[in-house]
Amino acid sequence: MGPIGVKELLLILLIVLILFGAKKIPELARGLGIGVKEFKNAAKELDTDDTAAKTSSANDAGSKPKGDEQSS
């Protein structure tokens, strides 16, 4: 079984058109696009949060808390 060809794609598109109708397909595509956009934004936000947390913890690890210093 090889990759999906033109005939298979046309058959899939025809079935989708019959099931959902011509008016519903743009709404489905719009909803899918909005979902993908929100997913990318959330993934980017998590990535920036992780980067900020790593930077913050690296800076904190190098400095001593003020209460740990002993006076002679």
Instruction: Give the model's confidence band at 8: pLDDT under 50 very low, under 70 low, under 90 confident, else very high.
Output: very high
Question: CA angle, corner 2, sides to 26 and 33, nearest 5?
Answer: 20
| Tens digits of residue pLDDT in 21-56 | 888 989 989 999 999 999 999 999 988 877 777 777
Give the position of tokens 């019959």. Answer: 18
Instruction: Report whether 25 contacts 16 (CB < 8 A).
Output: yes
Is the pTM here over 0.75, yes or no?
no
Phi–psi pair at 4, nearest 5 degrees: -70, 130
